[in-house]
Structure 1
Amino acid sequence: MGDKKRKPIPGWLNFVFGGLSGMMGISVVQPADLVKTRMQLMGPKGDKSVISTISGILKNEGISGFYKGLSAALFRQATYTTSRLGVFNSLNDFYSSMYGVPSFPVKLVVGSVAGGIGAFVGNPAEVALIRMTADGRLPPEQRRNYNNVFNALARISREEGRAMLLRGATATVTRAMVVNAAQLGTYSQAREQLLSTIGDGIILHFIASLISGLSTTFVSLPVDIVKTRVQNSAKGLGQLQVLRSIIQQEGVFALWRGFIPTYAKLGPLTVLMFLFLEQWNALYYRLTE
């Protein structure tokens, strides 16, 4: 995502810029992510509308309810997004220096690899995030009431064993490989294709991000809802068990439940993340050239 004619940004800065961009973006879209998670955890008897989910959160938890799990969301970005964007940009720069501009299939593969690595690194934060955002939908006596992400990680390790922090790691990695192949690969390709028409700048980054966010939402939702159910399960169910159960009990279209709040989160997050990332990159070049 850097200009191939320029000297590549140092590898360690790719990781720093990626993490900062993700954390800045998630701070804005956390409410939509919480609504999406609550909808994904509803069974076949739950009220599945966006409006009722939002009104229920407002009624039972107030405005602050939309920001439950924010510390976990920030920590997830600090681990997961730092890793995935850093690995993607580093691999992209390496490939470009060796073989020239990567093709779209190569970008998809690089995005998939980066996503898998990032997801494994960020899985403990992912488990804490799902637990914290799901807590408000439970009866008061069943809520875990974690104070923050570090309290959640410590209590999960102590009360349920450290292995619980890797609960759903396979599902998380699967989702991340799909998401990042779509998000990073599509953004990079759209940016490249539109560059000669629009010219470099915020408008280009914005349009490429919108294209990336929409395609990512569509392809990622089925694996995302499976991952969410696996990580919130008390019985340690596998991906195939959860997938089969959703299709049998709720229908195939349940795999795209929460499309609106997911895009309301993923669309702006993609836009903000790449806008912030491009600005960090531009700042680096302004200071070093």
Structure 2
Amino acid sequence: MPKSKQYPFYLGGVAAAMAASITHPLDLTKVRMQASGDPSMLHSLQSTLRTAGVGGLWDGISATLLRQMTYSLVRFAAYEDLKRRFTPTDAAAPSTSQLALAGALSGAMGGMAGNPADVILVRMQGDLARPVGQRYGYANCFDGLVKIVRDEGPKALARGWGPNVIRASLMNASQLGSYDVFKGMLLGAGMKDDVRCHSIASFAAGTVATTVCSPADVIKSRIMNASGSTNPLTAITSALATEGPRFVFRGWLPAWVRLQPTTVLTFVFLERLRAAVDTARGEP
């Protein structure tokens, strides 16, 4: 895999926002399973349709777009920058360890940048799973931002930042890093650098990322959805006592089902956006 070209920093955020707009209902189902304890993906979908109709499947879409244009924009931009910094100018490509390190560091940066949007997103998506009197009722992401700062103080926007940063670091290392590794393997095996190659590499990356990130994702969702004071240790202890160790993989299937198309669409869109930039530059 040749050393990557430089592209506009915002392409990753735009590609991720495009993908997330399509797959939002699956992300909504995953969060509601993790936060409310719904027994299955189908049960969670039925509950949403019964209480809010088809439109309810896009609850929190404004927060999703805000999250992608903070979290994903930063993680993709930082990842590409760190890959260039970690790789000597005369090297053909970064090593697997360099990709993993670049992914982990850029993921942590993205997790911190996107934490406020993530808090709002988790609350908006999980609202209908809460008792009527305990719902947040945010009209959109900006309404949620104002109400959180007003009612709970600015510090509330950092709720769950620890597990969120850990999860983002794991996600980036296992998703972006493994995508580059799988893509390099496919190109090395003689496959063309086309949509088929991008789809296979991103599918493999999505499976790796789902499994690696599940524990941190579950804990993050429960902390962010809580209205009172809590912390990772309390959340873990309580879940272990009531649900056993398997709770860390609760929602794995909807997470995988959601992350696979999101990962594939994100990388396919990103590669197409890069191709469009190349065309505009007059490059092959």
**TM-score (normalizing by structure 2):** 0.95
The aligned counterpart of 1:32 is: 26
Deviation at 1:64, TM superposition (A): 0.9
Which of 161, 166, 182 lines up with 1:169 in the alignment? 161
Deviation at 1:241, TM superposition (A): 2.0
The aligned counterpart of 1:159 is: 151
Deviation at 1:245, TM superposition (A): 1.9
Consecutive aligned runs of 4 or more in structure 1 exceeding 3 Å deviation: 96-99
Q: 1:271 to 1:237 in 2, by over 3 A?
A: same
Deviation at 1:246, TM superposition (A): 1.5
2:269 maps to 1:270: no
Deviation at 1:102, TM superposition (A): 1.4
Q: 1:47 to 1:150 in 2, by over 3 A?
A: closer
The whole-number CA distance in structure 2 between the counterparts of 1:41 and 1:71 is: 20
Q: Secondary structure at the match of 1:98?
A: coil
The whole-number CA distance in structure 1 between the counterparts of 2:114 and 2:85 is: 24
Q: Does the CA-based 8 Å contact 1:167-1:236 persist in structure 2?
A: no
Q: 1:38 to 1:47 in 2, by over 3 A?
A: closer
Deviation at 1:163, TM superposition (A): 0.6
Q: Secondary structure at the match of 2:142?
A: helix
The whole-number CA distance in structure 2 between the counterparts of 1:238 and 1:266 is: 26
The Cα offsets for residues 76-125 of structure 1, whole Å up to 9 and x where unpaired, read as: 00000000001001111333353621111111111000000011011000
Deviation at 1:230, TM superposition (A): 1.1
Q: Does the CA-based 8 Å contact 2:32-2:38 persist in structure 1?
A: no
The aligned counterpart of 2:81 is: 90
The Cα offsets for residues 173-219 of structure 1, whole Å up to 9 and x where unpaired, read as: 01101111100111010001111321211111000000000010011
The aligned counterpart of 1:226 is: 219
The whole-number CA distance in structure 1 between the counterparts of 2:38 and 2:206 is: 26
Which of 124, 140, 157 lines up with 2:116 in the alignment? 124
For 1:156, give the aligned amino acid.
I
Deviation at 1:157, TM superposition (A): 0.4
Q: Does the CA-based 8 Å contact 2:96-2:177 persist in structure 1?
A: yes
Q: Does the CA-based 8 Å contact 1:113-1:177 persist in structure 2?
A: yes
Q: Secondary structure at the match of 1:234?
A: coil
Q: Does the CA-based 8 Å contact 1:84-1:117 persist in structure 2?
A: yes
Which of 10, 14, 17 lines up with 2:11 in the alignment? 17
The whole-number CA distance in structure 2 between the counterparts of 1:264 and 1:30 is: 12
Deviation at 1:240, TM superposition (A): 2.1
**Structure 2 residue ranges without an equivalent (≥5):** none
How many residues are treated as equivalent by the alignment? 280
The whole-number CA distance in structure 2 between the counterparts of 1:231 and 1:33 is: 15
Deviation at 1:139, TM superposition (A): 2.4
Query: Relative to structure 2, which stretch is displaced further, 231-240 or 221-230?
Result: 231-240
Deviation at 1:226, TM superposition (A): 0.5
The Cα offsets for residues 221-256 of structure 1, whole Å up to 9 and x where unpaired, read as: 111000111111223321122122222210111111
The aligned counterpart of 1:217 is: 210
Deviation at 1:277, TM superposition (A): 0.6
2:56 maps to 1:65: yes
The aligned counterpart of 1:139 is: 131
2:234 maps to 1:241: yes
Query: Relative to structure 2, which stretch is displaced further, 230-239 or 164-173?
Result: 230-239
**TM-score (normalizing by structure 1):** 0.93
The whole-number CA distance in structure 2 between the counterparts of 1:219 and 1:99 is: 33
1:74-89 pair list within 5 angstroms: 74-89=65-80
Q: Does the CA-based 8 Å contact 1:21-1:274 persist in structure 2?
A: yes
Q: Secondary structure at the match of 1:147?
A: coil
Among all aligned residue pairs of Structure 1 and Structure 2, give the percentage whose two residues are the same amino acid: 36
Query: Relative to structure 2, which stretch is displaced further, 143-152 or 227-236?
Result: 227-236
